[in-house]
A and B are shown apart, each in its own frame.
Chain A
Amino acid sequence: MIEFRSVTKEFPDGTVAVEDFSFVLPSHKTTVFVGSSGCGKTTLLRMINRMVEPSSGQILVDDQDIADQDKVQLRRSIGYVLQSSGLLPHRKVVDNVATVPVLKGVPKAQARSEALALLDKVGLDRSLAERYPRQLSGGQQQRVGVARALASDPNILLMDEPFGAVDPIVRADLQVELNRLQRELGKTIVFVTHDIDEAFILADQVVIFRKGGVIAQAGTPAEILADPADDFVASFIGADKGKRALRLQQREDDRGLTLVVDGDGRPLGVLDRRATS
């Protein structure tokens, strides 16, 4: 469990990124922070592993104030995946994955063999282990980034727009893959994105932010879709334009097929008959 207690962050230049933010992120669930750039979501994420120090307020992980913990040890106990994979370009894939265990003092040979097993887990071929990050595609690099974050078997996984820089097809793959991994591992994931659809795919709990780290609405994807708190949320998720209010439509020539259309009558797909029976 990660708990924010009236956390404020004011940067030296006077910008207030987050003001009096209080929130609880449940364990073993995926919480997605979503909002447009500059809403403070990344700042909040980076406060969890003390890459950013709050100006005031407390952050507790499993009821322990992280301000009392050693920064370096704390960071080693939390997985972190960045938008740019952030891999070390001069180290082979396998050594990148083994980074944190080696820092923690696990013998190198053991760390490397465990790293290979992790490559399997994130769906990468072991033949890539001896490559350098530059030699991988963007999607593969992100998978290596995820493997590295998982290497020390952390309870918490922080993901800062990890799929933001890959193309839409690969992104969709990675999202499905992350959901599969999460079902298997049950980590406490904090995921930051500006893509509301990505948030709905991944989240157990979605937190939509306004500027200044103010929560516009928090809830499950269904709760938010069904009942946007206000106009801001409605426009953010696209409900105001009728994008989210789907209807079923049967047309005469369709031989009994049922279309799914959005508020403007734009067909989105066909209703799967197995779903209704």
Chain B
Amino acid sequence: MDLLLSALRWIVDGSHWQAGSQSPLPIQDRLVEHLTYTAIAVVIAAVIALPLGFLIGHSGRGRQFVIGFTGAMRALPTLGLLFFLLMVFGYFLSFDTAPIVGATISFVILAIPSMLAGAYAGLESVDRQTIDAARANGMTEWQILLQVEIPLGLPLIIGGIRAAVLQVIATVTIASYAGLGGLGQIISNGIGNNNYDLILGGALLVTALALVVDGLFALAQRATATRGLTDTRPATAARRRPTSRSPRPHASENA
């Protein structure tokens, strides 16, 4: 308990947020690095994973690929991958660029499976009858994707992104092993100096960051939840029984 209080005191200590402090301070610089690496990795992963997930979900082809691929990717240890890539890129790239490229690739690879699975599962969750009707009414395949499948699959799609972001936030902590800073820098510095305030303080910061970002995603998910599927104001006494035509699984299932 003393350790925890001491760590909290360390976090709220104004001098640790002073610009120009010695490494691993100030805290806000590490925080910004942490968020920047997370954002870069997530955006790159999204550009790769979402279109691919939409393609697979829309066409129904490559389902086996998603299941096998995401399973295999999730089993990949990111720390090992990071060291491997640092070694590989160390041969080709300069001393400055090898770490950032290697780390970014590891985080992108970490983020892809969740997003791919979310995008695919989101589209897969849309009622086939609804899609069939949309097609029979003369929607083009693009219109079906953009106006029917993505809006209806949005909760699961965002759920996938949410899971990916959380994994990356937690894992960017290892960026400090590549000399890239981030909140992990505070922790590894603490380990080096046997300073529990730094170790625990850094860990708490990562946790707090993850919780805040997750909270933001929860709000986004609620805001984008399809209104027609959640609003249950009854229209008549003879309202239809709630057969789950378009399942809208709870968001946290995927997170």
Contact = CB atoms under 8 A, between A and B. Distances in A.
Interface of A: 46, 49, 51, 72-77, 80, 82, 84-92, 99-100, 103, 128, 131-141, 148, 170
A137 B239 CA distance: 4
B138 interface: yes
A133 B227 CA distance: 11
Nearest to A49: B136
A51 B135 contact: yes
B235 A86 contact: no
Contact of A88 (B134, B232, B235): B134
A72 B138 CA distance: 5
Contacts of A133: 228
Contact of B236 (A49, A72, A134, A140): A140
Interface string B6-44: 000000000000000000000000000000000000000
19 contacts: A74-B138, A75-B136, A80-B133, A84-B127, A84-B129, A85-B133, A86-B133, A86-B136, A89-B127, A100-B137, A103-B138, A131-B233, A132-B231, A134-B229, A134-B240, A135-B231, A135-B234, A135-B239, A139-B238
Interface in B193-211: none
In which size bucket is the chain B interface? 20 to 34
Contact of A73 (B133, B136, B138, B235): B138
B246 A89 contact: yes
B228 A91 contact: yes
Contacts of B226: 89-90
A151 B139 CA distance: 15
A137 B238 contact: yes
A225 to B, nearest CB: 33
B143 interface: yes
Contact of A86 (B129, B138, B152, B238): B129
A91 B135 CA distance: 16
Interface in B218-255: 226-229, 231-236, 238-240, 245-246
B3 to A, nearest CB: 50
Rank and list the top 7 A-B pairs by shortest CB-CB distance, nearest first. Answer: A86-B133, A76-B138, A132-B228, A75-B138, A90-B226, A135-B235, A137-B238
Given A86-B132, A89-B226, A76 B137 contact: yes
Given A75-B137, A135-B231, A148-B137, A51 B240 contact: no
A103 B143 contact: yes
Contact of B245 (A73, A84, A148, A170): A84
Contacts of A46: 136
B240 A141 contact: yes
B61 to A, nearest CB: 14
Given A72-B140, A90-B227, A103-B138, A134 B133 contact: no
B79 interface: no
Nearest to B151: A90
A80 B136 contact: yes
B148 interface: yes
B136 A82 contact: yes
Given A131-B235, A132-B227, A140-B236, A87 B152 contact: no
A88 B148 contact: yes
A167 to B, nearest CB: 9
B133 to A, nearest CB: 3
A166 to B, nearest CB: 9
Contacts of A136: 235-236, 239-240
Nearest to B233: A135
A141 B228 CA distance: 13
A168 to B, nearest CB: 13
Given A89-B229, A103-B139, A137-B239, 15 more contacts: A72-B139, A74-B138, A75-B136, A82-B129, A82-B132, A88-B228, A89-B226, A90-B227, A90-B229, A92-B228, A100-B137, A132-B231, A134-B231, A136-B239, A139-B238
B235 A137 contact: yes
A103 B229 CA distance: 23
B130 interface: yes
Contacts of A51: 132, 135-136
A154 B61 CA distance: 34
A141 B140 CA distance: 24
